[in-house]
Amino acid sequence: MQNLPEQFIENMKKQLPANEWEAFFAVYEKRPFKGVRINPLKGKKTDLTAKLPFLGKEVLWEENGFYTTEEKLGNSPFHAAGLFYSQEPSAMRVAPLLDVKEGERVLDLCSAPGGKGTQLAGVMNGKGVIVLNEPVYARAKILSQNVERMGIKNAVVVNETPEKLSEKFSGYFDKILVDAPCSGEGMFRKNADEALSEWSVENVQLCAERQERILNEATKMLRVGGKLAYSTCTFSISEDEGQVENYLKQHPEMRLLCQEKLYPHRVDGEGHFVAVFEKTERIGEWDSRVKEAKPSRSAEAEKAYKEFEKKFFRDKFATRLYEANGILYDLPEGVFDWKGLQVLRVGVRLGEVKNGRFEPSHSLVMCAKKEELCNALDLDCQDVRLDKYLRGETIESEEIQNGWCAVCVEGFPIGLGKAVNGVVKNHLPKGLRKI
Tell me the catalytic residues.
233
Side by side, the strands of the sheet bearing 423-426 are 376-379, 403-409, 412-420, 423-426, 395-396
Closest CA to 180 of 230, 138, 243: 230
Closest CA to 42 of 92, 79, 72, 69: 79
Do residues 68 and 88 make contact, with C-beta atoms less than 8 angstroms apart? no
Closest CA to 165 of 21, 334, 338: 338
Closest CA to 209 of 163, 247, 251: 247
**Residue 71 to residues 365, 373, 377, Cα–Cα distance (Å):** 28, 33, 29
Rounded Cα distance, 192 and 323, in Å = 46
Do residues 304 and 358 make contact, with C-beta atoms less than 8 angstroms apart? yes
Closest CA to 98 of 64, 65, 61, 135: 61
Closest CA to 217 of 277, 171, 155, 158: 171
- Name the amino acid, one letter, at 253: E
Closest CA to 324 of 344, 360, 299, 352: 352
Q: What is the DSSP string of 249-272?
A: HH-TTEEEEEEEEE-TTTSSS--E
The answer for residues whose C-beta is within 8 angstroms of residue 90's C-beta and 6 or more apart is 186, 233, 262, 264, 267, 269, 270, 271, 272
What count of residues does the chain have?
435
Backbone angles phi, psi at 48, to 5 degrees: -70, -45
Q: What is the DSSP string of 178-208?
A: EE-----GGGTTTTHHHHHHH--HHHHHHHH
DSSP 13: H
Do residues 357 and 304 make contact, with C-beta atoms less than 8 angstroms apart? yes
Stretch (H or E) spanning 100: none
The torsion angle over the Cα atoms of residues 242, 245, 249 and 253, rounded to 10 degrees, is 130
